[in-house]
Chain A
Amino acid sequence: MKLMTCPLNGPRNISEFVYGGEVKAMPNHKTCSDKEWADYVFYADNTIKIIQEWWFHSPSGYWFIAERHTASDEILRTFDPSELYQERIDFGHEEGVKGGVV
């Protein structure tokens, strides 16, 4: 059985976790080009290296970050997102623009 160590709950069966994609900086969706946004949403480097990924522990509803080697599939480290993200990122409000579908 494959195990992953959740920073909050400890070692758990891998079936309790859900993959959440690579950790990468989100561009400002109000000012970036379509190409930049598509690159952020759809594309990954997909090379052999140690990458940082979002993972979700489903029974506790907890998101965290794991460092994994893409060739050996070894999980080297898992940690709370507060190590990387200390503050909420706010892209600001756009004046005069009404959001949503009427």
Chain B
Amino acid sequence: MSEFIISAHAMCRQSPIDASLCAQDSQVVIEDKTHTTRVGVRGVAAESFLKRQGMIVPDQPNQAEYSENGLIVLRLSRTEFWLIDVAQSHQAALEALERQALSEEGVYRLYCQHSHALFELKGEYSAEMFAKLCGVDLSHGAFAAQSIAQTSVARVNAIVVNTSLSAQRSDNYLILSDVSSAEHLWDALLDASQEF
């Protein structure tokens, strides 16, 4: 069991979301990215391990590092990191990194591939839409690009990441939530986005 690689067999993954239901006229576009590859590591040596693998790691908890190549590094606490491949273009690298983590002292893998659903939100009214669902202020002034909020969204626990790129001048967010409540959150997001 210790040889089990979480990020492997990407083609076999399924999402609980029926994406055919997401056709909508809203200016807030919601996409289901649950099937894309992600891997988490935790432990006192996790930060140094990722740096040795050539990753750019955020300095502070609740911050994200990313570039246009689609790989996003989340720092969720002092010792916890998630790597998210939204563009699904780093499969081999993440699989190799995960294999490497097996033999590292003080680095433990996290099963965020199977435990969480992943949605991507785009559109300039995304922040206004969040105001309907979330108690934390995620407006432009309060929630800058690269920020992470771990809080309650539509009454379920969620990790909200602002992945906007200033060059593109468009709002972009990721939402990670427990996979067992994914359908509820998906419906809540679709409902909240209708008015925009």
Is B163 an interface residue, CB under 8 A from the partner? no
Is B135 an interface residue, CB under 8 A from the partner? yes
Is A31 an interface residue, CB under 8 A from the partner? no
* B19-27, B47-55, B146-154 - the one binding chain A: B146-154
Complex Cα gap A1–B135 (Å): 10
Measured between beta carbons, the chain A residues less than 8 angstroms from B135 are: 1, 12-13
Complex Cα gap A9–B160 (Å): 12
Is A62 an interface residue, CB under 8 A from the partner? yes
Rounded to whole Å, the gap between the CB of B47 and the closest CB of chain A is 16
Interface of chain A residues 36 through 80 with chain B (CB within 8 A): 57-60, 62
- 1/0 per position for B76-87, CB-CB distance to A under 8 A? 110000000000
* B158 and A59 contacting across the interface, CB-CB below 8 Å: yes
Instruction: Count residues of B near A (Cβ-Cβ below 8 Å).
Output: 13
Nearest chain B residue, comparing its CB with the CB of A60: B150
Is B61 an interface residue, CB under 8 A from the partner? yes
* B152 and A13 contacting across the interface, CB-CB below 8 Å: yes
Query: Could you say which of A1, A8, A58 contacts B157, with CB atoms under 8 Å apart?
Result: A58
Number of A-B pairs, beta carbon distance below 8 Å: 32
Measured between beta carbons, the chain B residues less than 8 angstroms from A8 are: 61-62, 77, 150
Measured between beta carbons, the chain A residues less than 8 angstroms from B62 are: 8-9
**Most chain B CB neighbours (cut-off 10 Å) among A1, A9, A16, A58:** A9
Rounded to whole Å, the gap between the CB of B118 and the closest CB of chain A is 15
Nearest chain B residue, comparing its CB with the CB of A59: B157
Rounded to whole Å, the gap between the CB of A43 and the closest CB of chain B is 32
Is B190 an interface residue, CB under 8 A from the partner? no
Nearest chain B residue, comparing its CB with the CB of A9: B150
Nearest chain B residue, comparing its CB with the CB of A62: B77
Is B57 an interface residue, CB under 8 A from the partner? no
Measured between beta carbons, the chain A residues less than 8 angstroms from B158 are: 59
Is A28 an interface residue, CB under 8 A from the partner? no
* A59 and B159 contacting across the interface, CB-CB below 8 Å: yes
Is B136 an interface residue, CB under 8 A from the partner? yes
Measured between beta carbons, the chain A residues less than 8 angstroms from B159 are: 59-60
**Most chain B CB neighbours (cut-off 10 Å) among A15, A16, A59:** A59
Rounded to whole Å, the gap between the CB of B42 and the closest CB of chain A is 10
Complex Cα gap A3–B179 (Å): 27
Rounded to whole Å, the gap between the CB of A78 and the closest CB of chain B is 15
- 1/0 per position for A1-45, CB-CB distance to B under 8 A? 100000011001101100000000000000000000000000000
Measured between beta carbons, the chain A residues less than 8 angstroms from B150 are: 8-9, 57, 59-60
Measured between beta carbons, the chain A residues less than 8 angstroms from B77 are: 8, 60, 62
Rounded to whole Å, the gap between the CB of B136 and the closest CB of chain A is 7
Binding site for A on B (CB under 8 A): 61-62, 76-77, 135-136, 149-152, 157-159
